[in-house]
Amino acid sequence: MYKPLEITKDIFYVGVNDRTKHLFENLWPLPYGVSYNSYLITDEKTALIDTVDICYSDLFFHKIESVLGDKPIDYLIVNHMEPDHSGSIGLLVSRYPGIQIVGNKRTIEMLKGFYGITANVVLIEDLDELSLGRQTLQFYMTPMVHWPETMMTYVPEKRTLFSADAFGTFGTLDGGVMDSQLNPERYREEMIRYYSNIVGKFGSPVQTALKKLAGKEIDLLCSTHGPVWTQKENISEVIGLYDKLSRYEADNGLVIAYGSMYGNTEQLAELIAAEAAENGIRNIVMHNVAKSHESDIIRDVFKYKGLIIGSPTYNNKLYPGVENLVSALQNRNLKNRFFGCFGGFTWADASAKQLVAFAEGSDFEFITEPVIMKQGMLDEVKEKAHGLGRCMARKLLSGDEVVPSNKVNCH
């Protein structure tokens, strides 16, 4: 029997860690694993907040029993229906047949669609409340953060927010569960990678959710992934990070992402980076798309304000890894970036043209003409590469806001 893990009076953590899965959503690497968080509130009525991936249901039920023993669960609050959080609902209903499942209209549709569950469901709407006795659950609809049914549950008596996937992060909870028991810094990069890849497309809905919850005092921030945030400075930093990322704001730095078959395009990338560094840019990250995972590149693009992409022409298109990256950035509605590009070709110039078209369709400031290399690294190509590096450095150090435009001469 597990020892009950009480994170504050009458609220228990019953989540699990996954150190087995290699890819989250079968897409994103999990070098540090991931947690699936669930919470149990004991009162005159008992409420469970979300479940866990079905692979860990046995452990999950052991943890619930360590708190409740043979007592029933009165309510299941479904903040999010993604299967890593709803996967154990069917088994939960089998074990606790009297449980009532609380969710919004979209949740109830998905309960039927995923699991064939239509009985004992309680429909709630935005700002509805449910009393457990001493504690009250207040429900806030936060659609598209990052599914249409997503909502958050707030307990005013405990100033606790159960935020579904919002404020989540990759990484298991090793030993401790609360930020006071862990080193929060180890989760920062993984939180940015999580946000940019999973939630990044939905900046506007995130902003709407933040405004809706702006007046709430929060002493415990309980996401479905990552630590339980209990310390004021950490809660403020986590919410601030989501606010910043959802506005597509970024730090002064430069990402250079490129593809290269035989090294020529990579040489261009090196020249551009060296010139940017010589002109004062210290935060420079270079990604060879054939080696760096797309999720790491997207994370860094969300972190830094400067973006330069380079590609050789490949079958009259972009190099495949660059093409995939461009598509991923378009899909995330990325904006507010200074942008430059470079391309190489042997007999047909297509890559630079397609990178220009990408920039023209984005809310970027295109800082200067692309650097184009035909076959080899001639002196004039080197000079243009140096010029692109200098131009990006000047833009980043100018303090100017990004002004979306197709083409701007560098001053």
pLDDT at 352: 87
Phi-psi region of 221 (alpha: psi -120 to 50; beta: other; left: phi over 0): beta
CATH code for residues 6-246: 3.60.15.10
Comparing CA positions, the residue from 109, 105, 112, 12 lying closest to residue 67 is 12
Whether 331 and 339 have beta carbons less than 8 Å apart is answered as no
Where are the CATH 3.60.15.10 domain residues in the chain? 6-246
pLDDT at 1: 59
pTM: 0.93
What six digits make up the tokens of 44? 């005159």
What Rg value do the Cα atoms of the chain yield, rounded?
A: 24
58, 145, 200, 316, 347 from 268: Cα distances, Å: 54, 39, 30, 20, 18
What six digits make up the tokens of 64? 């619930």
Where are the CATH 3.40.50.360 domain residues in the chain? 251-398
Comparing CA positions, the residue from 206, 216, 218, 213 lying closest to residue 243 is 206
User: How many whole angstroms separate alpha carbon 362 and alpha carbon 288?
Assistant: 22
- 297 contacts: CB under 8 Å, gap ≥ 6: 255, 257, 287, 289, 325
pLDDT at 406: 61
First to last CA, the chain: 68
- Contacts within 8 Å (CB) and 24+ apart, 290-296: 290/259, 290/260, 290/321, 292/257, 293/29, 294/321, 294/324, 294/325, 294/328, 295/27, 295/28, 295/29, 295/193, 295/196, 295/197, 296/193
Profile the chain (411 residues) by mean pLDDT over runs of 10 residues: 88 98 95 98 98 96 96 98 96 97 98 96 98 98 96 98 97 96 94 96 96 95 98 96 96 96 90 97 97 97 97 89 95 94 84 89 91 83 94 93 69 48
pLDDT at 407: 57
Q: At what angle do helices 379-398 and 264-278 cross, to 10 degrees?
A: 40
- Judge if the upstream peptide bond of residue 146 is cis by omega within 30 degrees of 0: yes
Whether 310 and 265 have beta carbons less than 8 Å apart is answered as yes
Superfamily of domain 251-398: Flavodoxin domain (3.40.50.360)
What six digits make up the tokens of 309? 């992409």
